[in-house]
Amino acid sequence: MKNLILGIESSCDDTSVGITQGQQVLANVTANQDIHAQYGGVVPELASRAHQQNIIPVVDAALKKAKITPKDLSAIAFTSGPGLLGSLLVGTSFAKSMAMALNIPLIEVNHMQAHILAHFAEHPNQNTPPFPFLCLTVSGGHTQIVRVNSHFDYTLIGQTIDDAAGEAFDKAAKIMGLPYPGGPLIDKYAQQGNPQAFNFAKPKVDELDFSFSGLKTSILYFLQKQVKTNPLFVEENLNDLCASIQNTIISILFTKLEKAARQQNIQHVAIAGGVSANSLLRNELKKREKSLGWTSYIPPFEYCTDNGAMIALSGCFKYLDKQFCDLSVQAQARKPI
């Protein structure tokens, strides 16, 4: 079986198409939507309109990059949810039409499972995690700790009860006047800052769940107070603020991740999703190899944020297992892992 899958990702503000042959990624092409930066966050209506404009050129570019024609494809995979409904509808409709036109199977993919399955892309010097493993999936829309039992079997053991970790980064950045998405900028400025410079209270949440909305409020109140006495407070302390905020978010994540590893008695620990591009998160995970005996799994940068390759890869496993869907399949804004 040639197992050549084209995967379409359109759940949020990135239109991305990946092509895989087995677990090998032949193409991963993404059109980002700069339009949202000026609004300080993703505007759903603008996102779906931009997906419509981007989807054909991105599919075309991915096919060229992979040096194949549509006739070579074995199946079309697409993100059916969770995500912004208007955005999901563009990828869903396009995938259905393409599968129908080519008369090949259609495969629906859960976006959160796909972030985890990105670990199975063939990549030099990259080990794939053995089952069962734990995955901390941290993105702009989700924060989850998942016990991954197989390519198709996931147990959600902890999640955020309000904001996601990426949202906490982005909202903190917005309060400091940084453009969207602020996560990568906080990471950048934090490199030059002192993580102990400012103290922000950490939330007390039951068991393995997270909460980040209180942190955002405490940053807002703290800065409002400081700016009253020194209007240049943010500019003068940007690096230290970024380092302290980043340190707080990452230490909240690790408190729960360590607890989960102890409870589940699992030492194979992975991270996934946009925030897994964060340098402190990556470094702290590596450190726990020595201190806690973990084996850590960190996806290559290009498969951390939303990407079509992870959708094609998920499609690859479902294709081998003949998990196809028909044209009645619907996009779902809310979709459990």
- Sorted by sequence, the CB contacts under 8 Å of residue 137 that are 6+ apart come out as 112, 115, 116, 143, 144, 145, 146, 271, 272, 273
- Residues in the interface with ligand KG4 (CB under 6 A) total 19
Q: Quick check: 203 and 215 in contact, CB under 8 A?
A: yes
Residue nearest to ligand KG4 (CB): 274
DSSP 38: G
DSSP-derived secondary structure for 197-229 = SS--PPP--STT-B--HHHHHHHHHHHHHHHHH
For residue 169, give the nearest of 243, 244, 249 by alpha carbon.
Answer: 249
156-185 positions binding ligand KG4, by CB under 6 A? 166, 169-170, 181-184
Please give the sequence-ordered ranges of beta strands (E in DSSP) within the chain, or none if there are none: 4-9, 14-21, 24-32, 75-81, 106-110, 133-138, 143-148, 154-159, 268-272, 295-297
139 binds Zn ion (CB under 5 A): yes
Q: Quick check: 145 and 112 in contact, CB under 8 A?
A: no
For residue 63, give the nearest of 23, 24, 20, 122 by alpha carbon.
Answer: 20
Q: Which is nearer to ligand KG4, 299 or 315 (by Cβ)? A: 299
294-323 positions binding Zn ion, by CB under 5 A? 306
Contact partner at residue 183 from ligand KG4, Zn ion, none, CB < 5 to 8 Å by partner kind: ligand KG4
Stretch that binds Zn ion, among 131-139, 148-156, 188-196, 217-225 (CB under 5 A): 131-139
* Per-residue mark of binding to ligand KG4, 35-74 (x: CB under 6 A): ----------------------------------------
Q: Which of 129, 273, 308, 315 binds ligand KG4 (CB under 6 A)?
A: 273
290-319 positions binding ligand KG4, by CB under 6 A? 305-306
Nearest distance, CB of residue 325 and ligand KG4, angstroms: 22
DSSP 131: S
93-132 positions binding ligand KG4, by CB under 6 A? none
Q: Which is nearer to ligand KG4, 90 or 275 (by Cβ)? A: 275
d(CA 127, CA 121): 10
- Residues in the interface with Zn ion (CB under 5 A) total 2
d(CA 312, CA 24): 10
Q: Which of 10, 20, 278, 314 binds ligand KG4 (CB under 6 A)?
A: 278
18 binds ligand KG4 (CB under 6 A): no
Residues that bind ligand KG4 (CB under 6 A): 12, 139-141, 166, 169-170, 181-184, 187, 273-275, 277-278, 305-306
- Chain residues binding Zn ion by CB under 5 A are 139, 306
